[in-house]
Structure 1
Amino acid sequence: MDALHRPLLDRSPALLAEGYAWLPNRMRESGGQVVRTRLMGRPALAVRGPDAVRFFYDERHVRRHRAIPEPVRGTLFGRGAVHTLDGDAHRVRKALFLPLLHVDRIAGVVEHVTAAWDEAVPSWAARPRVTLFDAASVVLTRGVCRWAGIPLAEEEAEPLARDLVAMVDGFATAGPRHWRARRARGRQEARLARLVQDVRSGAVTAPADSVLARVARHRHPDGEPLEPGTAAVELLNVVRPTVAVCWFVAFSAHALHRRPEHRDRLRAGDAAYAAAFAHEVRRFYPFAPFLGGRAVTDLSWHGERLPAGGLVLLDVYGQNHDEKLWGDPYVFRPQRFLERPVERDELIPQGGGEPDTNHRCPGEGITVGLLEALAVRLARLDHTVPEQDLTISLRRIPARPRSGFVIADVQAPAG
């Protein structure tokens, strides 16, 4: 039996046990940038490096259709989402999100979210302690809904934020977190499907060219409008990842607490340093462990072969901590992004490739813009950090500071 069809040991239990370290450990064992393994009963080829990113996003080699496991579709992305499409269907649906790449759109969502942050800080000052992860999720929910044109009553913000966080928090686990994510998605898809129907009927007026208006009028390649449920899925695929920036806000606070020397340059409003800090938070801290696709045909990469239909895994966490690319990958050092230009397919916390044609997240610019602005606000926020458990377990996907990063003695800025 040749190497292509030789049975491999299924490594799914090891993934559950090792979390983010699973693929980096396999790479270390193989001594290279590629490894054959088996996951969820399927042969898999794990790859890493800028060339591997380009290989992974080439639709002649790898497709996303039917590659995302149902538990992930049913919680994180939603059924029929743009992430699950390929070819013309993907490109037509992706056009719905391309305006998010525009500088003015990024500035708009940053403006709304920072305004919501500034509105929230005085209420934090009135409380003995604030869990930053939770508070940031509410701020982001209020800001992105205003920007997207989604009606949101004041009392709806916290329940919606909890549901959006649950969808992200439960995608890669079994048990209570997973079922909480499914219930949250069901509630919010039903709510937004009704909203889309109300916009189409004229019962609700969506702000001109808002995300809500664009989704309500978007059509399939055959000219038919999106089903209300699919439209709801894609609305959530704008709102949900924006609210997921609360993970990076908590990580930013963690970095500033552990390494307070970065605070002064952020406080001073050094824009280039704020961008470098945002990139380093996304590189250094764990979020997506890897991405997956299906082999279109029999494939070979660096001498390792994979049959058609097998899984191709892009080692996101491993690449963002690859010594060959970063030199000192386990040191938090924003300066690295000021020392040399980083290539598109080197830093891949939200995927690689071209955002206008590939599966790279079109909201990546929004994430970076929000992190730049909120890191400055965090650095300028007078507060204390009480004793708490700030460990970040790499076995938990998605990882987060165990305490959610609690702050106390918040001082509201004068004026």
Structure 2
Amino acid sequence: MNKIPRDGRFDQSINVLREGYRFLPARFERLHTDIFQTTLLAEKVICVTGEEGARLFYDKEKFQRKGALPKRIEKSLFGENAIQGMDGNPHQHRKLLFMSLMTTEHLERLSQMTTEQWRKKAGEWAPDEEIVLFEEAKEVLCRAACKWAGIPLEENEVTERAEQLWSMVDAFGAVGPRHWKGRKARAESEKWMEKKILDVREQRLQASEDTALYQMAFHKDTEGNYLDSQIAAVELLNVIRPTVAVAAYVAFGALALHEDQEQEAKVRGADSVYIEMFTQEIRRLFPFVPFLGARVRRGFIWNGFHFKKGRLVLLDIHGTDHDSRLWEHPHEFKPERFRDWKGGLFDLIPQGGGEHYTGHRCPGEWITIEAIKSSMRFLTNELEYDVPSQDLSYSVTRMPSLPKSGVVLTNIRIKP
């Protein structure tokens, strides 16, 4: 039996906050290994990285999600009793609900709505106005996501709801005020969403059958019962919250366009193939999800290492997306790397790996891709703008990360 390399003798929780996205990759590099053990929040944890580590992590026979999420993440990012903490038949049953919303028709509708909302927003900007793209993107994506999901959204509540949805995301790597803001935002958003669910069920609000609002309101569990209204609200938020989170990728995409004028020229008027490549490279390169967790379902041996039942295991998401064994020049922005990419299940994993329908890969991944593509097309094909001097750097210790300025644009002109 091989002994799992160990990272120090003391609890490393504070270093996760200090080092952020570099916490796991730095230790894999220093220990010259794809597996090590550490202590986080007074618990022994095994950490794995790379394509083989991802393949292991998404083996449903070896791992379960129940009990893997810290309560602080449930109470801010995902919500309690959400699909992210489910296993077996209940998970599969609810996953099919999410995947039923990811048809080509649904995704095309979201793409069109995203473009429509960008056009509407741009029409409100004065010629001499200075805008922060990230802030504008939150509202655009909130409007588009709610319209797509069938959720009524009054104009005077757009800013508030967009900020609440982002705050839940912004809280996952935070302590103190940022984290408590996210928890407060979740509580308020769940009340908002639960009211919509109950209004639909009690016919005070009409919702089209092909919308997420209707489907969540009338979804039945494996025993044939409607979901508890609070759980239905949590899952409805799990449809629209990730769409608003795409605002971070929009800011990073604009950064990539600004830093490489050749790329901007390629994206402008590009066919769907290149837009897809550009979008995937945004998701691969820029930091968003640092790692994910699961618990060992039953003890097993892997590559001579023993995994004890109940042990928490973390998969290095950010490090795998920057693994030089998988990606040539992994820290460079090169969309062309995806020209011959075969769509591996365990190499590009910014939103998790494995199968969408049968595994725990994020069901909203395709929504993310469509929203980014629509936003990048709009920025390059329908707008002209200047990028003034500003701090466009981003931190790999802050989770989630963003360009510090949010990407300020000036002298914005709508192309004829």
TM-score by length of 1: 0.96
d(CA) in 1 for partners of 2:299 and 2:9? 17
CA RMSD of aligned residues (A): 1.7
Q: What is the one-letter code of the residue matched to 2:160?
A: P
Q: Secondary structure at the match of 1:293?
A: strand
The amino acid that maps onto 1:392 is: Y
Residue 216 of structure 1 is matched in structure 2 by 217
Q: Partner amino acid for 2:209?
A: A
Separation of aligned partners in 2, 1:194 and 1:124:
33
Kindly state the Cα deviation for residue 40 of structure 1 after the two structures are TM-superposed: 1.7
1:197 aligns to 2:202 (yes or no): no
Map 1:16-95; keep pairs closer than 5 Å.
16-95=17-96
Partner of 2:413: 411
Contact between 1:99 and 1:105, CA under 8 Å: does it hold in 2? no
Q: Is the 8 A contact 2:387 2:410 kept in 1?
A: yes
Shift of 1:5: 12
Alignment size in residue pairs: 413
Structure 1 residue 25, shift from structure 2 partner: 0.6
Identity %: 39
Q: Report the alpha carbon displacement of residue 177 of structure 1 after superposing the two structures with TM.
A: 0.7
Q: Which residue of 1 aligns with 2:388?
A: 386
- SS of match in other structure, 1:351: coil
Residue 398 of structure 1, aligned match among 378, 387, 400: 400
What letter matches 2:224 in structure 1?
Answer: G
Q: Which moved more, 1:314-323 or 1:290-299?
A: 290-299
Residue 109 (structure 2) pairs with residue 108 (structure 1): yes
Letter in 1 for 2:391: D
Answer with 44-53 or 220-229: which moved more: 44-53
C-alpha separation in 1, matches of 2:288 and 2:410: 26
8 Å Cα contact 1:82-1:93 kept in structure 2:
yes
Q: How big is the shift at 1:303?
A: 3.1
Q: Is the 8 A contact 1:43 1:306 kept in 2?
A: no
CA deviation after TM superposition for structure 1 residue 54, in Å: 2.1
Contact preservation (8 Å) 2:4, 2:36:
no
CA distance in structure 1 between the partners assigned to 2:283 and 2:199 by the alignment = 38
For 1:342 and 1:302, the matched residues in 2 are separated by 26
Q: Secondary structure at the match of 1:109?
A: helix
Structure 1 residue 297: Cα displacement: 2.2
Displacement after TM superposition at 1:269 (Å): 2.7
Once the two structures are superposed, residues 151-172 of structure 1 have per-residue CA deviations (whole angstroms, 9 ceiling, x without a partner) of: 0111111111000010000122
Superposed displacement of residue 293, structure 1: 0.6
Determine the structure 2 residue equivalent to 1:312.
Answer: 313
Q: Which amino acid aligns with 2:403?
A: P
Matched, 1:167 2:155: no
**TM-fit CA distance, 1:195:** 1.1
- 8 Å CA contact 1:286–1:398 kept in 2: the answer is yes
C-alpha distance in 1 between matches for 2:305 and 2:271: 46
Give the gaps of 5 or more residues in structure 2: none
1:132-281 equivalent positions in 2, closer than 5 A: 132-281=133-282
Q: 1:24 to 1:5 in 2, by over 3 A?
A: closer
Contact 2:197–2:233 (Cα < 8 Å) also in 1: yes
> In the aligned structure 1, how far is the partner of 2:236 from the partner of 2:128?
33
* Partner Cα distance (1:164, 1:91) in 2: 26
AA aligned to 2:374 is: A
**After TM superposition, what 4+ stretches of structure 1 lie above 6 angstroms from structure 2?**
4-7
The answer to whether the 8 Å contact 2:166/2:241 transfers is: yes
Alpha-carbon deviations, 1:23-62, whole Å to 9, x = none? 0011101212222222222221111222222211112211
In the alignment, the residues of structure 2 paired with residue 124 and residue 351 of structure 1 have an alpha-carbon distance, to the nearest angstrom, of 37
Deviation at 1:130, TM superposition (A): 0.6
CA deviation map 1:149-206 (0-9, x unaligned): 0001111111110000100001221011111111111111001111111111111111
Number of the residue aligned with 1:329 = 330
Quote the Cα distance in structure 2 between the aligned partners of 1:295 and 1:5.
Answer: 18
Output the TM-score relative to the length of structure 2: 0.96
AA at the equivalent of 1:406: V
Give the equivalent residue in structure 1 for 2:13: 12
SS at match of 1:287: coil
Residue identity matched to 2:137: A
Partner of 2:325, secondary structure, is helix
